[in-house]
Structure 1
Amino acid sequence: MAANTGNGWTGGQNAFGDFAPGMVHYTDKVLFDEVWTREGLSMRDRSLVTVAALTALGKTDQLTFHLDYARQNGVTEEELKEAILHLAFYTGWPNGMGAMTVLKNIVEQQS
Structure 2
Amino acid sequence: MSEDAATRWTGGKRTFGDFAPALAHYTDAVLFDEVWERPDLGRRDRSLITVAALTAMGKTDQLTFHLDHALQNGVTEVELKEAILHLAFYTGWPNGMSAMSVAKNVFASEA
TM-score, normalisation: structure 2? 0.94
SS at match of 1:55: helix
The residue aligned with 1:110 is: 110
Distance 1:80 1:18 in 2: 34
**Shift in Å, 1:5:** 4.1
Q: Percent identity?
A: 70
Report 1:8-87 matches (<5 A): 8-87=8-87
One-letter amino acid matched to 1:32: F
* RMSD across aligned positions (CA): 1.1
Paired residue secondary structure (1:27): helix
- Could you tell me which residue of structure 2 aligns to residue 4 of structure 1? 3
What residue ranges of structure 1 are gaps of 5+ in the alignment? none
User: Normalized against structure 1, the TM-score is what?
Assistant: 0.94
Distance (whole Å) between structure 2 residues aligned to residue 32 and residue 3 of structure 1: 11
The alignment of Structure 1 onto Structure 2 pairs a total of residues equal to 110
> Deviation per CA, 1:7-43, whole angstroms, max 9, x where unpaired?
1111111111222111011000000000000011110
